[in-house]
Structures are given as C-alpha cells and as structure tokens.
Amino acid sequence: MPSPKGPPELRHLERVLVSPQAIKRRVAALGERLNADYARKDMMVVAIVNGALIFTADLLRVLRSPLRLDCLRASSYHTGTRAVGEPRIVDQMKLDVKGHHVLLVDDILDTGKTLAAVAGLIKDKGAASVRTCVLLDKKARRAVPFEADYVGFEIPNEFVVGYGLDFNERYRNLPCIGVLKPRYYREK
Ligand code: 5GP
Ligand code: MG
C-alpha cells in the first residue's frame, strides 16, 4: 500500500518492481565500485536527461573521485511506450570530453540504440575512455549489441516509471520503480 505521505500517483502503480530501499542500497554499491574503478582518474559524468536525473543525483552523492558533470538530452520516446525512430541528440554537452574519462549515465538500457549512439559520439570526440552506467537493464529488448559496464537491476520486458522514468513526462517523482495499471498507459 502506498504510504499516506508518498505522492498520490503511487496509486497508479499496479506493481512495484524495485523499492526505494533496494534502489538506495544498489546505488550505494554501484558508487563504491565506481569509487574503486575511478580512484586515480579525473572523471567526467555525463547524464542523459531527463530520465537519468534522479539516479545521477543520488549516485553523485556517493562518488568520492574529483569529477565534473554535464548533461545531454537524447530523444526517441516522443509519446507513449514505444520508441519512435532512431535516437536524436537534441541538446549537446557543454564540456569538452577530449582526453577525459567519461562515465555515461542513463536510466534504462532498452534497445541499446541511445547508449550505443551516444557512447560512439563521445568516443569520436576523443574521450580517453567511455564507460556506461544504467540503473535498469531490459535485456530482452536489445536491438543492437550493447552492454553497460555498470548495471543496477535487470528487469523484465515491461514499461516502467518512477525514480526519474516517465510516462508522458509524468511519474518521475515516484520514489520506486513500478509498472502502471493498464488504464494509465492509455494515450491522452
Ligand atoms: P534505448 O535507446 O535503449 O531503446 O532507450 C533508452 C531510453 O528509452 C531510455 O533512456 C528511456 O528514456 C526510454 N525507455 C526505455 N524503456 C523504458 C521504460 O520501461 N520506461 C521508461 N519510462 N522509459 C523507457
Ligand atoms: Mg532516457
């Protein structure tokens, strides 16, 4: 049952796949791995927003390496739960990645097209290294061969919302990851 103090839209969820407590524990564990792997590297964290906003914010607070942050915006889900066409970079980064160790952070690895395209682009711009970190991985949906270096949770092939992930820009503020009741997936 949703807490009486939680967002009212928690009631739109049919099922919770990942609880706030599980997210917190996993983010802490991922942060520790990153702290070890980047201990002697100056890191550039690049978040793919809006989806990775909350995950990145929580991850950053666990990271101890000196780092810089930039964001970029990629778009393929225009409405609904299906990607429309190939991903497009609709807002470029401000920092120069040349010679830097880039950690690309996204909310979810689905077909793999977005991260494959963005990682390729950052390599082409001369980054010293590019690794990828995703909170969620829907392996069953992969359309291009791509695996992330750091994965929070593997989830089944369902469209999920919460903790940064939206449906038509809603539900990003839910503290957990869940599946909506079918009636809320209807296009408005
Ligand atoms: P890919 O290019 O890997 O197919 O898509 C990645 C992007 O699609 C993610 O960054 C996310 O914005 C969106 N996406 C894929 N699956 C889901 C999902 O289950 N829920 C939500 N809200 N977005 C998703
Ligand atoms: Mg996204």
Tens-of-pLDDT digits for all 188 residues of the chain? 555 678 999 999 999 999 999 999 999 999 999 999 999 898 999 999 999 999 999 999 999 989 999 999 988 755 577 776 778 787 788 889 999 999 999 999 999 999 999 999 999 999 999 999 999 999 999 999 999 999 999 999 999 999 999 999 999 999 999 999 999 998 65
pLDDT, residue 92, reads 81
User: Is residue 60, in this structure, part of any structural domain at all?
Assistant: yes
Strands of 13-18's sheet, edge to edge? 13-18, 177-180, 160-161
Find where tokens 């539900």 sit. 171
CATH number at residue 35: 3.40.50.2020
- Calculate how far, in angstroms, residue 108's C-alpha sits from the geometric centre of ligand 1: 5
As to burial, measured by CB atoms within 10 angstroms (0-12 exposed, 13-18 middle, 19+ buried), residue 91 is exposed
169 in any annotated domain: no
Asked if 12 and 181 count as a contact pair (C-beta separation under 8 A), the reply is: yes
Alpha carbon 130 to its chain's center: 16
* Residue among 58, 107, 110, 137 flagged as catalytic: 110
Contacts of 184 (CB under 8 A, 6+ apart): 12, 167
| pLDDT at res. 2 | 56
Q: What is the pTM of this model?
A: 0.94
In this structure, are residues 55 and 78 in contact, taking their beta carbons and an 8 Å threshold?
no
Query: Is residue 144 one of the residues assigned to a domain?
Result: yes
Whether residue 113 has its Cβ less than 6 Å from ligand 1: yes
- Let me know if residue 54 belongs to a domain: yes
Residue 41 lies in a domain: yes
Residues 177, 31: Cα–Cα separation, whole Å? 19
Query: For residues 150 and 186, what is the distance between their CA atoms, to the nearest angstrom?
Result: 33
Residue 29 maps to a domain: yes
Range of the domain at 100: 23-150
For residue 106, which atom of ligand 1 is closest to its CA? 10
Residue identifier of the C-alpha nearest atom 16 of ligand 1: 110
Residue 71 located in a structural domain? yes
Residue type, 151: V
pLDDT for residue 77: 56
110 assigned to active site: yes
Residue whose CB lies within 8 A of the most ligand 1 atoms, among 77, 113, 163, for a mutation test: 77
Does 160 sit in the ligand 1 pocket, CB within 6 Å?
Answer: yes
Q: Is residue 6 part of a domain?
A: no
Total number of domains constituting the chain? 1
